[in-house]
Amino acid sequence: MSIEGLKYTGIGDKNRSYFDKMLYDDKPAEAGDVLRVGLIMDGAAAGAASVTFEEETESVLLGSFFIAPPFRREGLGRELLSRMEDEVALYASGIEAEFTSKSVGMAEFFTQMGYAVSEGYPIYSMKVSDFLGNRRMITFTMKTKSSHDFTPFSGMTSEERYSCYDRLFDEGVFITEDNTDGLLLEYSGIIKGEDGEDICMICRESEDTIILSQLIRFGEGFSTEFTEALLTFYSAIERTEGRYENIAIVMANPKVVGVLPTLLGDKFPHEVTQSYRAVKAL
């Protein structure tokens, strides 16, 4: 240990409450597929990190990584990540992290820690209240069928859902009943496009944010039918207003960058951030 007064601790059901505000995963304290490490500095909770083990890969995902403000710029971030890497190396061959440009300095930090950092997709963020109250969107939904033929995963039988998961696997998206990774079954599902093709909409959640993360046209890669999905997405959020405060739309398709301002207006309050992925072999 290179920092005087610094101690490490595993995080379980007995001490989870001390680190709750630093952990972003929503799995129970005793979950077997999550490893959590905490930092204690001079008797106070100073930081925490957690990783999730995935069945389909030999790498793990860094789901939480937080240093309390009073303890920043003292090297604790490096200490915490190094300790987590040592723990992970006993079980996996690599570690991954995902973050956005809102986390200032994180790209440089992971690079310095020996990670390969690459850009992902832009993310368009907004308030649910602004989205539902947008006049352009309200007019658009009134002039268009409010929701296309949409079957959510929550409305399918187990067999139908398994069949969709198999089709998603063929498109490079790994989802199982035991590995949903924040998947929202009532928001995610199959949209029957106007041309009869199935479009799969994947929605996930992170704290108070609902994320429209993927649109996939089965058999043809990424779907360009964004307006159809946005109408379905709007209707679902409208029915469950109050459940989420924020919306994030992953703009994997460059055409979406132009569609959103057209639908919502150039002056619509929003924020665009860049996503990043950091990977390191252990």
> Which pair of tokens denotes residue 51?
């990783």
Which tens digit of pLDDT belongs to each residue from 19-58?
888 887 666 555 557 889 999 988 889 999 998 876 656 7
Which tens digit of pLDDT belongs to each residue from 118-138?
999 899 999 999 999 988 888
Which tens digit of pLDDT belongs to each residue from 55-90?
656 778 888 899 999 898 888 999 999 989 998 888
Q: Which of 230, 248, 229 is nearest to 124 (CA)?
A: 248
| Confidence (pTM) | 0.75
Which tens digit of pLDDT belongs to each residue from 221-275?
444 467 778 888 888 888 887 889 999 999 887 777 778 888 888 889 999 999 9
Q: What is the DSSP string of the chain?
A: --STTEEEEE--TTTHHHHGGG----S-TT-TTEEEEEEEETTEEEEEEEEEE-TT-SEEEEEEEEE-GGGTTSSHHHHHHHHHHHHHTTT-SEEEEEEETTSTTHHHHHHHTT-EEEEEEEEEEEEHHHHHT-HHHHHHHHHS-SS-SEEEGGGS-HHHHHHHHHHHHHTT---BTTB-TTB-TTT-EEEE-TTS-EEEEEEEEETTEEEEEEEEETTTEE---HHHHHHHHHHHHHHTTTS-SEEEEE--SHHHHHHHHHHH-TTS--EEEEEEEEEEE-
